[in-house]
């Protein structure tokens, strides 16, 4: 046997056994070593195969089966130039003409390869993943591309090839570590995965596509071929302004799987069209300006609530096809409602079909578990020092904004990204190059992310869930900040909930917890969150934290919500908070909507509706949310009676709102406060109103100041302070 024959035999065995690392060098139509052309094809279960010339439709040669597994070969000694062809195959008595995937030239351009290698491709999802397309000669199919630089062989597998990794091995573009293959005749809806022979020579568990645009309904784990959603125009001026610092931003946080359950027991989840019919009118009626969804990216485990996603580019199949979510976002915008998504670039789960050890190497995660494994959540941590990983994440942020039209992202668990020793003890972490605990690569990634989003999607909103005192989270990267637009104010949330949980008898000893947040209220651009994190893991509901008998609990809750809407910062309420959900949130159950049949719960809901209305209507309450000029104390020292008073002012039009909070169940009459301006004031909202379930202690329709110095002001007002209540008072000159 000649050396050439030995090489060919070994190549045939490599194809048949599924470990040929360069299939395009052997399969398809090639120049024969001894002249002419040779055609090779691997067609398991085929009885017969022939080469057909596309131009004439003539069979040029019947292929010889050289291996019992279905390896066919034919020779054309008289032909010199390659030509377009197809294969005529007899499959168990059924004859079909098929296109040969190994006749097509590389699909990625040199420019794309350069950008992918550098990690500077702003939209890598346009090249990677599965893309239905037609070739230059009109052949329809799907182009697959996946980054797996250390793999020895990558194949596309699916129903179309019986999940046989031998049938569709891919071409490696060594310049950037991307494997690609165009498979003719495939269309959207096809299930697929990647079968990878890893760097260590072992087959990996079959992997879902990191850039898959759709996925199977859990517990199935395959990716599904889907069209890349068309690019959407930039945010309209109206939508961009609605996300701005001087706009009223009131966010309704939703877990779409448990907001409401479908009628009947035959289905588990509402679909996007059903959510559009129910959720959008509800949010509009309640007066919220934005919906924030807990992660809707595909995730395998219901109990993670979406915070352990596997398919970052795929809207979860739980609520219907991807186009359903896109239509939902568009419907929100038609009603003037913005859509934010919780986004998780900090870690990913260890599920076998996911990103972990993707190509037989630690590709997306750090190899050292002190850097690459998160012990709190048993997840893997992205390697932000790798250009392609950063590219994957930044591209994903733009993908949701540009292809689904979302208004912004709330970035989850930012603190876990910023600190190398986050939730680690002793020597269970690796210091940075300067010997510190700051994750310099993550910092650079976040700055780059926010800079690119600001450039490519002006007007979009980036929000950080950052639970420490990390400085300049919402300052531009150019001055050393992280570049977010907003940060969750966890300090306010913790202090205020701690204070409200105290028996009113002892609140005078905790007065600082009520006032402390104003010392740093403008250090960042804040969102005040009462999120899902505050109603899980044994914490109970927000209502459940309020002390006293039933009447006092509801009164406390109403007073608290009044304070929240009066305090500087944008607002966020988790679903159920708006009507005083009694039970702790359970992701497997719908909210207890039947509670609205009871007046106290209906009263809380009515209050939140009116708070949203007042907040949106009164520039004094929102125009200065992020400016120190927007807040001024009247009196923060009345600890003995647990009363505070302050004013909010719009830096734009100078309008004023006076706010007074009485955090005891004792009504105060003729309670005097200094007035910012002389004249008449009107009680705009009183959380003790009977329509909210309160006792009905109120002030006259119109209150006049008197020339009596109080709280350092030349004019003052005498008020009736309801028990456990927040009052909003507006000067008559500012009345619309």
Active-site residues, by number, are 412, 465
- The tokens describing 474, both together, are 């919402």
Q: Which residue has the tokens 């008073």?
A: 645
The secondary structure of 215-240 as a DSSP string is: BPPTT---EE--PPPPP-PPPPHHHH
Q: Are 127 and 108 in contact (CB under 8 A)?
A: yes
Distance CA 55, CA 365 (A): 50
Strand partners, 142: 132, 183
Q: Do residues 173 and 108 lie in contact, with contact meaning Cβ atoms separated by under 8 Å?
A: yes
3-class secondary-structure state, position 592: coil
Other residues' Cβ atoms within 10 Å of the Cβ of residue 293: 24
The reply to whether omega before 219 is within 30° of 0 (cis) is: yes
Q: Coil, strand, or helix at residue 192?
A: strand
Nearest to 413 by CA among 468, 492, 472, 331: 468
Q: Choose among 97, 6, 94, 85: nearest CA to 39.
A: 85
User: Sign of torsion, CA 128 130 133 136?
Assistant: positive
Q: Which two tokens stand for residue 460?
A: 């979009």
Q: Which residues pair with 638 in a beta bridge?
A: 643
Q: Give the pair of three-digit tokens for residue 445.
A: 């990634």
- Mapping DSSP to helix (H, G, I), strand (E, B) and coil, where does residue 625 land? coil
Report residue 523 as tokens.
Answer: 């250090």
Q: What whole-number distance in Å separates Cα of residue 105 and Cα of residue 84?
A: 12
- Considering only CA atoms, which of 727, 720, 624 is closest in space to residue 683? 727
Cβ–Cβ under 8 Å, residues 87 and 52? yes
Residue 214 φ then ψ, to 5°: -155, 160
């Amino acid at each position: 046997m000649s050396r050439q024959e030995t090489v060919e035999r070994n190549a045939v065995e490599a194809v048949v056994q599924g470990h040929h690392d360069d299939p395009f060098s052997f399969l398809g139509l090639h120049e024969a070593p001894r002249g002419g052309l040779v055609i090779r094809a691997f067609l398991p279960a085929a009885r017969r195969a022939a080469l057909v010339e596309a131009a004439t439709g003539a069979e040029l040669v019947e292929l010889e089966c050289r291996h019992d597994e279905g390896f066919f070969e034919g020779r054309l000694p008289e032909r010199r130039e390659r030509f377009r062809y197809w294969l005529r195959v007899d499959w168990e008595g059924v004859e079909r003409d098929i296109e040969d995937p190994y006749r097509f030239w590389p699909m990625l351009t040199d420019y794309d390869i350069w950008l992918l290698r550098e990690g500077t491709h702003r939209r890598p999802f346009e090249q990677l993943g599965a893309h239905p397309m037609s070739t230059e000669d009109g052949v329809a199919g799907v182009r697959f591309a996946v980054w797996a630089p250390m793999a020895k062989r990558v194949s596309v597998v699916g129903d179309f090839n019986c999940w046989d990794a031998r049938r569709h091995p891919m071409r490696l573009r060594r310049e950037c570590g991307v494997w690609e293959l165009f498979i003719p005749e495939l269309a959207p809806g096809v299930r697929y995965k990647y079968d990878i022979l890893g760097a260590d020579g072992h087959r990996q568990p079959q992997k879902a596509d990191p850039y898959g645009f759709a996925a199977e309904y859990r517990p199935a784990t395959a990716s599904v071929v889907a069209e890349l959603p068309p690019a959407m125009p930039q945010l309209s001026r109206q939508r961009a302004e609605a996300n701005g610092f001087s706009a009223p931003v009131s966010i309704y946080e939703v877990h779409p799987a448990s907001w409401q359950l479908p009628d009947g027991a035959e289905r588990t989840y509402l679909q996007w069209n059903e959510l559009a019919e129910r959720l959008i009118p509800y949010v509009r009626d309640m007066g919220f300006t934005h919906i924030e969804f807990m992660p809707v990216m595909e995730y395998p485990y219901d109990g993670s609530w979406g915070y352990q996603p596997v398919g970052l580019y795929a809207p979860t199949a739980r609520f219907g096809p991807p186009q359903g979510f896109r239509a939902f976002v568009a419907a929100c915008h038609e009603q003037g409602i913005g859509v934010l998504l919780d986004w998780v670039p900090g870690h990913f789960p260890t599920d076998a079909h996911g990103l972990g050890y993707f190509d037989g190497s630690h590709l997306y995660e750090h190899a050292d578990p002190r850097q690459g494994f998160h012990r709190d959540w048993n997840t893997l941590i992205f390697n932000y020092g790798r250009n392609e990983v950063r590219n994957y994440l930044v591209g994903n942020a733009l993908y949701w904004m540009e292809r689904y039209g979302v208004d912004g992202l709330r970035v989850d668990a930012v603190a876990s990204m910023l600190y190398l020793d986050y939730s680690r003890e002793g020597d269970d972490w690796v210091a940075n190059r300067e010997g510190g605990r700051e994750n310099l690569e993550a910092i650079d990634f976040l700055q780059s992310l926010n800079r690119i989003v600001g450039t490519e999607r002006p007007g979009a909103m980036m929000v950080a869930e950052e639970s420490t005192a990390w400085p300049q989270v919402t300052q531009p990267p150019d001055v050393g900040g992280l570049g977010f637009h907003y940060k969750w104010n966890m300090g306010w949330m913790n202090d205020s909930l701690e204070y409200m949980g105290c028996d009113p008898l002892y609140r005078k000893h905790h007065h600082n917890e009520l006032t402390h947040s104003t010392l740093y209220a403008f250090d960042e651009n804040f969102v005040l969150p009462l999120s899902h994190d505050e109603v899980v893991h044994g914490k109970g509901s927000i209502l459940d934290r309020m002390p006293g008998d039933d009447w006092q609990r509801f009164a406390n809750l109403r007073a608290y919500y009044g304070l929240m809407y009066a305090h500087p910062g944008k607002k966020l309420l988790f679903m159920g908070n708006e009507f005083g959900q009694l039970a702790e949130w359970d992701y497997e159950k719908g909210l207890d909507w039947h509670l609205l049949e009871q007046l106290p719960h209906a009263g809380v809901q009515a209050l939140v509706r009116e708070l949203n209305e007042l907040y949106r209507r009164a520039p004094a309450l929102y125009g200065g949310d992020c400016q120190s000029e927007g807040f001024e104390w009247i009196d923060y020292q009345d600890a003995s009676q647990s009363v505070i008073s302050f004013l909010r002012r719009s830096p734009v039009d100078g309008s004023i709102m006076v706010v007074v909070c009485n955090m005891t169940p004792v009504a105060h009459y003729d309670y005097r406060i200094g007035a910012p301006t002389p004249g008449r004031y009107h009680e705009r909202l009183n959380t003790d109103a009977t329509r909210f379930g309160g006792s009905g202690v109120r002030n006259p329709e119109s209150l006049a100041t008197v020339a009596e110095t109080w709280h350092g002001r030349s004019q003052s007002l005498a008020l009736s302070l309801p028990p456990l209540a927040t009052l909003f008072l507006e000067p008559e000159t500012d009345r619309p």
